[in-house]
Amino acid sequence: MTAMPYRRFLCAAAALALAGCPGHKTSQPPSGPGSPASATGPNRLVVLLVIDQWPAWAFEHKRPMLVGGGFERLLREGEWHRGRHPSPATLTAPGHALLGTGEPPAGSGILANQWWHRDLEKIVKSVEDPDGPVSSARWLRVPALGDAIAAAGTGAKAVSVSLKDRAAILMLGRSGLAIWYDKTKVTWTAKEVPPWLAAHAAAHPIAAHLRDVWTPLDPAKLAQLSGIADNAPGELGESGFGPTFPHAAADTKDPAEAINAMPIGNELVLGTALAAIDGEKLGADDVPDLLAVSLSAHDLVGHGWGHESWEMWDMTLRLDQQLAAFLAALDAKVGPGRWSLLVTSDHGAAPMTEVARGGRITTESLKDAANRAAIAELGPGEWIASAKYPTVFLSAAARAKPAKDLPVVMKKIMYALRSFPGIERVGLTTDFAGRCDTRTGDAFEICMMLDPERSGEIFYMPRRGWVLHDAADPTATAHGSGNDYDRFVPVIMLPPKRTPHAPLEKVDDATIYMVRISTVLAHWLGVTPPTSLPREPQPPPAPAP
| Residue 91 Cβ vs Zn ion, minimum distance, rounded to whole Å | 7
CB of 99 to Zn ion, least distance (A): 15
Report helix, strand or coil for 512.
strand
How large is the angle between the packed helices 263-279 and 310-334, nearest 10 degrees? 10
CB of 263 to Zn ion, least distance (A): 17
Contact residues for Zn ion (CB under 5 A)? 299
Report, in angstroms and rounded to the nearest whole number, the Rg of the chain calculated over CA atoms.
23
**HSE of 335, CA atoms in CB hemisphere, 13 A:** 16
| CA pair distance 532, 535, nearest whole angstrom | 9
The CA distances from residue 472 to 187, 199, 341, 534, in Å, are: 26, 37, 38, 41
Residue (299 or 445) nearer to Zn ion, CB: 299
Q: Helix, strand or coil for residue 98?
A: helix
Amino acid, res. 167: A
Q: At what angle do helices 145-152 and 517-525 cross, to 10 degrees?
A: 30
| Of 90 and 187, CB closest to Zn ion | 90
CB contact at 8 A, 91 and 479: yes
Residue 52 C-beta: closest distance to Zn ion, Å:
7
Three-state SS annotation for 102-157: CCCHHHHCCCCCEEEECCCCEEEECCCCCCCCCCCCCCCCCCCHHHHHHHHCCCCC
- Which residue's C-beta sits nearest to Zn ion? 299
**Considering the complex, what minimum distance in angstroms separates the CB of residue 347 from Zn ion?**
7
**Residue 475 Cβ, how far from Zn ion at the closest point, in Å?**
8
Contacts of 199 (CB under 8 A, 6+ apart): none
CB of 162: closest distance to Zn ion in angstroms?
A: 13
- Least separation in angstroms between residue 479's CB and Zn ion is 6
Nearer to Zn ion by Cβ, of 299 and 451: the residue is 299
Nearer CB in complex with Zn ion: 103/299: 299
Strands of 183-252, DSSP E: 187-190, 213-214, 247-248
Helix (H, G, I), strand (E, B) or coil at 229: coil
